[in-house]
Amino acid sequence: MRAWDPAAWSLAEKEIASSPLGQGFLEFFTFWVDAAEKMMSEQDENYPHVVGGMEKYTAHEAIQKAFALSETQFGRQPAELVLQMLAVMVTYWYYRDPLFRDMTEVEKYLVREVLGTKLVQLAEDAQRG
């Protein structure tokens, strides 16, 4: 995955990978984002977004298309986990800004809720020391 801030992503990735559930999360997440990045870099003659003479998927479109491939590879994932993955994308992915910009209002609302819950959890963890 191409990260917005590679150092921050490296720390987050290590934290996520510290449990078996986190390792499964990262496996699905990495496959999903890598597939989306590949789609964004390849020409698609059937798509209307022209960039530099080549037709490209936007980040949002690529994430949607790559999700189906990811589910085929790893099976269905719980909605809560998928929302957490979207929140991680919006936080760390290099294409986070165009992804978030093109999300529907419902998608943005759900991602904000996940991020808000995470901030509350971090504050509580800090208070406990």
Q: What pLDDT is stored for residue 110 in this prediction?
A: 94
More confident residue, 125 or 116: 116
pTM here is 0.84
Q: Which helix H or strand E contains 28, and what residues bound it?
A: helix 20-41
Q: Alpha helices of 42-104 — where are they, by DSSP H?
A: 59-74, 79-92, 96-102
Average pLDDT over residues 63-84: 95
pLDDT given at position 57: 86
pLDDT tens figures, 40-68: 887 655 555 555 555 678 999 999 999 99
Distance CA 119, CA 44 (A): 39
pLDDT at 93 over 60: yes
